[in-house]
Structure 1
Amino acid sequence: MAISCIKLCLVLLFFLASFTIPLDCFPDIHPKTTVALVVFGDSLFDPGNNDSIKTTTEFQANFPPYGESFFKYPTGRFCDGRVIPDFIAEYAKLNLIPPYLETHNHQLANGINFASGGAGALAETNTGLVIDLKMQLRNFKKVEKQLRMNLGKRGAQRVVSNAVYLFSIGSNDYLSPLTNNSSIFKLYSPQDYVAMVVGNITATFKEIYKKGGRKFGTLNLGPFRLFAET
């Protein structure tokens, strides 16, 4: 079923309060400089990337009732209207952030969205059906390389360092083994498995930091109730 974005308003408003970055805090940035929004994640953030990959309808949102309350047609967003990055872009006076796989303009003028519904921090999560976090990072590096070719090293560095990097990832890593009857929890203790998930997310942050990224935002995972015994 389409997820009503209204239910996310309280979370969104709280996040926006911490997201605002006044330009006068950065005197070296020209007042007209646009800060790009770069998005990584899963179905909470996917604006339609999964429509461009060969996957099952379970991981696509290109049919009604998705999109009906705002776009009036399905856009690939797992929502009846807009997803969280759309609201943040509007608040920041940016255009809708385009999905990476549906745009040929990777200049990061407003930003770019790499998120994929069903994706996790681990490549094993819904493997072959989604764009996992490591692949999303590779796509970001392709964009960064193209920026250096088009803008030069200093110009690309300015865009990358001024951008805000927004993440929503991890939920599917914990849900997928349960819904797919995976034996993963027989191979790893809960502590080791969590460490793997957090480790992959941390490694992604570090890679973007090495490229010059400095502003990061991430959603917490929702509460989980796992089966303690059967």
Structure 2
Amino acid sequence: MAIGGGVPSLPCLALLLLLVSWNVGLLAIARGLPPCEFPAIYNFGDSNSDTGGISAAFYPMGSPTGETFFHRPEGRASDGRLITDFIAEHLGLPYLSAYLDSLGRSFRHGANFATGGSTIRRQNESFFENGVSPFSLDIQTAHYDQFVARTSYLYKNARAEKFRRSRLPRPEDFSKALYVFDIGQNDLAAGFRKMTNEQLNASMRDIVSQLATAVQHLYQQGARTFWIHNTGPIGCLPITLRYIRNPMPGYLDEIGCVKDQNEMASEFNRQLKGMVMQLRGELPEAALTYVDVYTAKYSLIANSTRAGFERAGKMCCGYEWEDKHVWCGQKASINGSEVVAGSCEDPSIFVSWDGVHYTEAANRWISEHIISGLLSDQPNVPITHACYRL
């Protein structure tokens, strides 16, 4: 279902979801394949899947984040749950605790190494200037190595301390866990700030190669099941579109997104998919699933009204006045008056939470369409059967 061939309508997408899920179900039954029993999830990524890492590392994320589901800030850049949370729910596992947030957390069923602002390649930019996290993907995998070594030692030496053991992962579970990647959007965003499109395009191979290195490293440590998200349509983000005035013909696509930015995201995704296919041949015991999150997000934006999202092109949380923008939850002085950027009355009718991240309602919609296997390439395998090489 290529975007270049036209975006499917919501009814068509729903029909395809039904047919593909039905066919995958028949395939699994015919082969006698029961659902995988994942004891844990280990996630690597950026703010699209960060469940509290960057908040613990720098400063607590404040209101109104988390208001819809958690009813308090829980380190997520949304009003509620993320795709990562819906994946955990679907697999019957607890929400992932952030590795960097150790207070009162249990890591028996996995850990989240993602942090807001993370990139695949290290960036020479400050988190406080441009929101780029120092925890790039190589640092996240180093954190994983430390996590495995430290928890395995503690588990082995806990002995009769049942409470302590109950919060630690079982060493034998690391090879049975699901390893999720959702990262790359910030590499593109940094490229748009610092490079020409030609330079960014030339850097794609190295960016994707470094993600491949992370997968290979985890495989060498015993990981076997990988669920790899591609990057979304960055040219459709409201924070990008708000600065556009009188665009030249052809600058925006048919649904009003920045065309060249989405083309760059599509090129990244093309190379990422090629990398996944190559790794399938190089890692004989690995099951690697490439997940087309781009199509899910673009389809939602293109068909938002029929999906029940009345304010698809606007952000729920934030404040805009003329050429000024105040980020969600922040304060600013405008014309001598203090302004607090609060949230909208009903986040469920918005696709975008804060101009960059998605609302819980949008995350739920996207999750339903990727978890089912409709948009995965392994071939079309649902997440419940991702441990098999089909």
Aligned to 1:111: 110
Aligned to 1:171: 185
Q: 2:143 aligns with which of 139, 158, 177?
A: 139
Q: How well do the aligned residues superpose, as a CA RMSD in angstroms?
A: 3.2
Distance 2:41 2:213 in 1: 20
Q: 1:226 aligns with which of 232, 236, 260?
A: 260
1:107 Cα deviation after fit: 7.7
Aligned to 1:98: 97
Q: Report SS of the residue matched to 2:95.
A: coil
Aligned to 2:344: none
Q: Report SS of the residue matched to 2:117.
A: coil
Distance 2:85 2:124 in 1: 26
Aligned to 2:371: none
Aligned to 1:36: 40
Listed as ranges, the gaps of 5+ residues in structure 2 are 1-12, 157-169, 236-258, 264-390
Q: 2:223 aligns with which of 210, 213, 216?
A: 213
Q: Report SS of the residue matched to 1:137.
A: helix
CA separation of 1:192 and 1:205: change in aligned 2, threshold 3 A: same
Contact 1:106–1:143 under 8 Å retained in 2: no
1:147 Cα deviation after fit: 3.6
1:148 Cα deviation after fit: 3.5
CA separation of 1:88 and 1:164: change in aligned 2, threshold 3 A: same
Paired residue type of 1:122: R
Return the TM-score normalized by structure 2: 0.44
Return the TM-score normalized by structure 1: 0.72
1:177 Cα deviation after fit: 3.1
Contact 1:164–1:217 under 8 Å retained in 2: yes
Distance 2:207 2:39 in 1: 29
1:151 Cα deviation after fit: 4.8
Is 1:204 the counterpart of 2:218 in the alignment?
A: no
Q: Report SS of the residue matched to 1:43.
A: coil
Give 1:18-167 correspondences, 5 Å limit: 35-54=39-58, 62-103=61-102, 108-124=107-123, 126-127=125-126, 129-130=132-133, 131-151=135-155, 156=171, 158-167=172-181
Equivalent residue pairs, number: 194
CA separation of 1:191 and 1:176: change in aligned 2, threshold 3 A: closer
Cα deviation per residue 1:143-181 (whole Å; 9 max; x = unaligned)? 1112442456xx62x222101000100010011232xx4
Paired residue type of 1:40: F
1:35 Cα deviation after fit: 1.4
Cα deviation per residue 1:117-143 (whole Å; 9 max; x = unaligned)? 111101117555512111111100001
Paired residue type of 2:112: N
Distance 2:212 2:153 in 1: 28
Distance 2:116 2:208 in 1: 19
Greater strand fraction, Structure 1 or Structure 2: 2
CA separation of 1:106 and 1:78: change in aligned 2, threshold 3 A: closer
Listed as ranges, the gaps of 5+ residues in structure 1 are 1-9
* Percent of pairs with identical residues: 27
Paired residue type of 2:149: K
Q: Report SS of the residue matched to 2:226.
A: strand
Cα deviation per residue 1:50-76 (whole Å; 9 max; x = unaligned)? 112237xxxx7x122211110111111
Distance 2:214 2:187 in 1: 16
Distance 2:55 2:96 in 1: 16
1:218 Cα deviation after fit: 1.4
CA separation of 1:164 and 1:106: change in aligned 2, threshold 3 A: farther
